[in-house]
Amino acid sequence: MTTGPAALPGLTGRLLDLLGPGGVITDPVRLRTYECDGLTYHRATPGVVVLPETAEQVAAVVRACHETGTPFVARGSGTGLSGGALPRTDGVLVVTSRLRRILELDIPNRRAVVEPGVTNLAISEAARPYGYYYAPDPSSQQICTIGGNVAENSGGAHCLKHGFTVNHVLAVELVTPQGEIVELDAMDPGYDLLGAFIGSEGTLGIATKITVRLSREPESVTTLLAAFPDVESGGVAVSAIIGAGVLPSAIEMMDALAIEAAEAAVRCDYPAGAGAVLIVELDGPVAEVAHEFAQVERLCRESGAFAVRVADDPARRAAIWKGRKSAFAAVGRISPAYLVQDGVVPRTALPAVLAGIEELSARYGIRVANVFHAGDGNLHPLVLFDDAEEGAAERAETVSGEILDLCLRHGGSITGEHGVGVDKSRYMTKMFTEEELDTMQLVRCAFDPAGLSNPGKIFPTPRLCGEAPGVRKGVHPLVASGEADLF
């Protein structure tokens, strides 16, 4: 049997037999639709794209890949920002957009069972008539899929109180890299394999059915907008609120440049002269929210807020959120191009790290707008540049990387919610030792010894198991001690 890249033409014939011509894309022009995700910097035309409609079809496709040694990549809506769904020119891109049924709304047990191509928002829309919603809320929630959310362990503005995807997924049915359909359940005894799968960026198989927890709509929600002279005083307010034991559902910050962009795009009418704004949202029982709200307002004023606005009805709350929600896109109004970075720092390090970003911005002559989940210490610096200017993209890339170095120096991480993908794999060695990376590879190898499921993502240099055995010199300590085997 032909295996490896030479197998692709033969494999395509087999895929056509499995899915029919409507389920397989080979036309070079149509293939280009799938050449990148939200991070357009990295592009590759997929060898072939398949659009299965059932888990059994996904399994049959993956089995065919496994038998021919062909790499495959899962793709939801392609909104990822780390090149996680970047296809392989020698492989198969498995697009889940046709797997989009809500299979069960089980209100008494507060759960929903959905296919991976269902959008995040569609789950909340289906549950809302019963007073429930799906809590993790990436800003891309209108279009991103729950399969992509599981793969990236996605977050969102309200994850500070309500948790990330991993806190809301109860079970996943997946197709293993060998093409078998298995179920991982949070109630399973033994190792938390479901936990290992969530956030694995498509490297451990393809999710085909997901059971999520539904949350009760809160009794009341209050949103506050506080304007500060600068980001430092806003950062002090964030620490003061959390330090006082209040847990808002969201604390978001925008700096002066992000406010300028939002004003230009959507006229959000934030207080004039603000060097930073904080959006703080509280939800829960009426009495609790009223009590905590008084504390939050006082702490903001004590930290230097010069204007505070409050909204407790949906229309006025939406007006406050308008600027924040449009901020990423709004930056397009003030800059021809930009990179979105995603790093994390301890909350108390926010003022120092923001000052560091300002210093980098001045040193490289590159503007950086900051819009971020301040409560989680999850920064999203938007590094602005003009792609028509010689060397500007490279300088932006350097600033973007140096921001991650800054996060690491302050005890943070290179990604909060956007995943590592292909884009940040080169930074993994800055965060983890060789032994730690090899240990992660051993987990990956336990699922995917042949290394066919989304290869080339997360890990800087493929080592161990099937990807490129023997690149690493020496033996992993766990292997040397006989505690683990290489495949």
Binding residues for ligand FAD restricted to 123-142, rule: CB under 6 A: 138-140
Using the minimum distance from each CB to ligand FAD, give the nearer residue, 283 or 342.
342
380, 156 Cβ separation under 8 angstroms = no
Using the minimum distance from each CB to ligand FAD, give the nearer residue, 206 or 280.
206
Among 417, 438, 448, 467, binds ligand FAD (CB under 6 A): 417
Q: How far is the CB of 167 from ligand FAD (least distance, A)?
A: 13
Binding residues for ligand FAD restricted to 181-200, rule: CB under 6 A: none
423 binds ligand FAD (CB under 6 A): no
Binding residues for ligand FAD restricted to 317-356, rule: CB under 6 A: 328
207 binds ligand FAD (CB under 6 A): yes
Q: Where are the extended beta strands (E) located within 99-193? A: 102-106, 111-114, 132-133, 169-175, 181-185
Q: How far is the CB of 307 from ligand FAD (least distance, A)?
A: 26
Binding residues for ligand FAD restricted to 9-48, rule: CB under 6 A: 37-38
Using the minimum distance from each CB to ligand FAD, give the nearer residue, 64 or 144.
144
Q: Choose among 205, 295, 281, 279: nearest CA to 249.
A: 281
**Beta carbons within 10 angstroms of residue 1's beta carbon:** 7
Q: Choose among 276, 229, 271, 238: nearest CA to 257.
A: 276
Residue 203's H or E segment, with its range, is none
Using the minimum distance from each CB to ligand FAD, give the nearer residue, 96 or 441.
96
Using the minimum distance from each CB to ligand FAD, give the nearer residue, 74 or 169.
74
Using the minimum distance from each CB to ligand FAD, give the nearer residue, 213 or 476.
213
Using the minimum distance from each CB to ligand FAD, give the nearer residue, 156 or 235.
156
93 binds ligand FAD (CB under 6 A): no
Q: Where are the extended beta strands (E) located within 214-275? A: 215-216, 220-228, 250-255
112 binds ligand FAD (CB under 6 A): no
Among 23, 52, 148, 177, binds ligand FAD (CB under 6 A): 148
76 binds ligand FAD (CB under 6 A): yes
What is residue 379's three-state secondary structure? strand
Up-side HSE of residue 109: CA atoms within 13 Å toward CB? 9
CA distance 148 to 118: 10
Q: How far is the CB of 4 from ligand FAD (least distance, A)?
A: 21
Among 144, 166, 169, 350, binds ligand FAD (CB under 6 A): 144
Question: Bridge partners of 368?
Answer: 383
454 binds ligand FAD (CB under 6 A): yes
Q: Choose among 379, 328, 327, 331: nearest CA to 351.
A: 379
392 binds ligand FAD (CB under 6 A): no
249, 281 Cβ separation under 8 angstroms = yes
What is residue 50's three-state secondary structure? strand
Among 79, 178, 335, 370, binds ligand FAD (CB under 6 A): 79
| Residue whose pair of structure tokens reads 């109004």 in the numeric block | 333
Return phi, psi of residue 88, to 5°: -110, 135
Q: Choose among 104, 105, 99: nearest CA to 119.
A: 99
Binding mask 278-317 vs ligand FAD (x if CB under 6 A, - otherwise)?
Answer: ----------------------------------------
Q: How far is the CB of 367 from ligand FAD (least distance, A)?
A: 19
CA distance 43 to 430: 25
71 binds ligand FAD (CB under 6 A): no
Q: Write the CA distances from 308 to 107, 229, 254, integer angstroms.
A: 38, 13, 15
Name every residue whose Cβ is closer than 8 Å to that of residue 442 and which is 6 or more positions away in sequence. Answer: 464, 476, 478, 484
Q: How far is the CB of 82 from ligand FAD (least distance, A)?
A: 8
Q: Choose among 121, 327, 316: nearest CA to 221.
A: 316
Using the minimum distance from each CB to ligand FAD, give the nearer residue, 207 or 374.
207
70 binds ligand FAD (CB under 6 A): no
Q: How far is the CB of 94 from ligand FAD (least distance, A)?
A: 8
Residues that bind ligand FAD (CB under 6 A): 37-38, 73-81, 84-85, 96, 116, 138-140, 144-145, 147-149, 151-152, 154-156, 201-202, 206-207, 328, 417-418, 454
